[in-house]
């Protein structure tokens, strides 16, 4: 049984929400090649589910909820932008995930243009 509820957690600044939404959609539609699944020990064929606050956050204390969802995520994908660099929340999420000893599971996603819509 997989120990993670989410394949990935997307960390982003709200000004970059369009990128986060598009990334979540693209990732959840992607089929992981069998060779990569074998190499990484991943049983599932899809990158699903991907946590994004607008679609997956529950009710309660926001900071505690986000910490819990980070723990339940295999990877942390950070949408890197000037907005994210100034974001207190993005910083907290990255520090929390790294503090779990999982820095090697942080994936930067550098934005440099408009997402396809």
Nearest Cα to 27, choosing from 50, 60, 9?
50
Q: Where are the alpha helices (DSSP H) in 1-117?
A: 17-29, 34-40, 53-56, 62-71, 82-85, 88-99
* pLDDT tier at 117, thresholds 50, 70, 90: very low
Phi, psi of 12 (to 5 degrees): -160, 160
Task: Say how far apart CA 67 and CA 89 lie, in whole Å.
Answer: 11
pLDDT for residue 76 is more than 80 = yes
Nearest Cα to 43, choosing from 34, 56, 54?
34
**pTM confidence score:** 0.86
pLDDT for residue 102 is more than 70 = yes
Nearest Cα to 22, choosing from 10, 31, 5?
10
The pLDDT, as a whole number, for residue 39 is 93
- SS3 of residue 10 by DSSP: strand
Q: How many CA atoms lie within 13 A of 70 on its CB side?
A: 26
């Amino acid at each position: 049984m997989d120990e993670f509820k989410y394949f990935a957690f997307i960390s982003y600044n709200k000004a970059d929400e369009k990128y986060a939404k598009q990334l979540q959609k693209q990732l959840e539609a992607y089929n992981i090649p069998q060779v990569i699944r074998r190499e990484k020990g991943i049983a599932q064929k899809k990158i699903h589910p991907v946590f994004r606050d607008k679609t997956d956050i529950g009710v309660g204390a926001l900071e505690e909820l986000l910490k819990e969802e980070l723990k339940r995520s295999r990877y942390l994908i950070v949408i890197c932008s000037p907005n994210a660099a100034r974001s207190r929340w993005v910083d907290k999420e990255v520090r929390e995930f790294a503090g779990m000893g999982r820095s090697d599971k942080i994936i930067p996603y550098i934005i440099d243009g408009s997402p396809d819509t």
